[in-house]
Amino acid sequence: MYQERSWYKEIYSQVLQDMVRRVGLAFDRYLKGDSQGKRSGKPRFKGKGRYHSFTYTQAENDWIVGNRVNLPKLGTIKLIQHRPLPEGFDVKTAIISKKADGWYITFSLLDESVPTINPDIDIEKSVGIDLGLKDFLVTSDGLHVPIPQYYRKAQKRLAKEQRKLAHKKNKASKRRAKQVRKVAKLHAKIARQRKEFHHKIAVLLLRKYEVIAHENLNIKGLARTRLAKSVHDAGWGTFITILANKAERAGCLTIGVNPSGTTQICSDCDAHVPKTLIDRWHSCPYCGLELDRDENSGRNMLKRAEGAPQEAPLGCHPVLKARRVRSDGWTMKREARTQSAG
Ligand SMILES: [Zn+2]
């Protein structure tokens, strides 16, 4: 190999091995499909211009010295460290990736502690959340988390810069190339802001609640009914994933429920109270319940998670099980494990 492609000598062996692994993965996904059996398209040739990252599969803690990082075959490189590596963890891999505004390095750490569900999970500290466009989320007990202003501003700016780009028709022009970079940088910035916001909100929720019910975003056919949501922002899925991961680490539970009809049903008396997208208020003519539309939806979410009649048959639901478990004297840990495995 080295005779034919002498430039490979300049690349660290682990990095090359990882490339082979990536190609293998691409073919596996094409031929066998992923864990859910979903197959990807036929792998294409990927020239050097289409590689945006490479991986050191066995990085070491001592690669970072002060504000520099030592990378095999690349040497010492200046580094802006966003946060110090936590004590007592071993660095496993380092991924170098190229983004619109520079090069990034991501270390993954080995954490040997096994997350366990808190045996004393407090079911009273449960909440339902409704993800939306007006507010980012609304909880069943009336907390409104707005979409941050800076995020909206950045998106407006992005739209503006994208319009400018559309006007630059000459594909070979330098000005256009410059504008492409500008748009890409803004995209990267927004993605980072969103991620940070998601983490912040997840932490905020988990500090207050131990069981969080949310709409299950993976239900097929949902896209049609909730198109307005999915079109505007694909961020909910990422948020739920972040929340679920953090919850597991904190020993809390997140439960996805079928969201169909949660806006239309009265969370108090289960009556059907039709609303259009612009109706922001739930006003029940049957039981007289008056509250915010999204709050009502959040309450329904929580009700479904608790196994209210409209949801799964009694006893099937994890939270209900959890309740039973407590009276039976089973450990919560064991039940929770089965829940996450299923
Ligand atoms: Zn009602």
Query: Cβ of 80: how many Cβ atoms within 10 Å?
Result: 8
Is residue 218 over pLDDT 70? no
Confidence of residue 88 (pLDDT cuts 50, 70, 90): confident
Residue 269 Cα to ligand 1 midpoint, Å, equals 4
List Cα–Cα distances, 161 to 43, 125, 175, 183, 234, in angstroms: 33, 45, 13, 6, 21
**pLDDT of amino acid 287:** 94
**pLDDT of amino acid 192:** 87
Of the two residues 249 and 336, the one the predictor is more confident about is 249
Confidence of residue 219 (pLDDT cuts 50, 70, 90): low
Lookup: tokens for 240 = 């739920």
Is the Cβ–Cβ distance between 144 and 138 less than 8 Å?
A: yes
Which ranges constitute the DSSP H helices of 209-233? 222-225, 227-232
Confidence of residue 115 (pLDDT cuts 50, 70, 90): low
Residue 25 Cα to ligand 1 midpoint, Å, equals 52
Residue 131 pairs with which residues in a beta bridge?
A: 137
The pLDDT tens digits of the residues spanning 188-204 come to 888 888 889 999 999 99
List Cα–Cα distances, 30 to 37, 45, 53, 54, 102, in angstroms: 10, 14, 21, 21, 31
DSSP letters spanning 245-311: HHHHHHT-EEEEE--TTTTTB-TTT--B----TT--EEE-TTT--EEEHHHHHHHHHHHHHTT-TTS
> What mean pLDDT comes out for the span 77-90?
83
**pLDDT of amino acid 118:** 57
Is the Cβ–Cβ distance between 257 and 304 less than 8 Å?
A: yes
Range of lowest pLDDT (270-284, 292-306, 325-339): 325-339
Is residue 210 over pLDDT 70? yes
The pLDDT tens digits of the residues spanning 41-78 come to 889 888 878 888 999 999 998 898 888 999 999 999 99
**pLDDT of amino acid 117:** 55
Residue 272 Cα to ligand 1 midpoint, Å, equals 8
Is residue 335 over pLDDT 80? no
What is the helix (H) or strand (E) element at residue 56, kind and residue range? strand 53-56
Surrounding residues of ion ligand 1, Cβ less than 5 A: 266, 268-269, 271, 284, 286-287, 289
Is the Cβ–Cβ distance between 64 and 79 less than 8 Å?
A: yes
Is the Cβ–Cβ distance between 131 and 214 less than 8 Å?
A: yes
DSSP 125: S
Residue 282 Cα to ligand 1 midpoint, Å, equals 9
Query: Cβ of 119: how many Cβ atoms within 10 Å?
Result: 15
**pLDDT of amino acid 330:** 31
Residue 233 Cα to ligand 1 midpoint, Å, equals 31
Is residue 338 over pLDDT 90? no
Lookup: tokens for 153 = 């501003």
**pLDDT of amino acid 5:** 83
Lookup: tokens for 73 = 């075959």
Residue 322 Cα to ligand 1 midpoint, Å, equals 28
The pLDDT tens digits of the residues spanning 132-185 come to 877 889 999 999 998 888 888 888 999 999 999 999 999 899 999 999 999 999
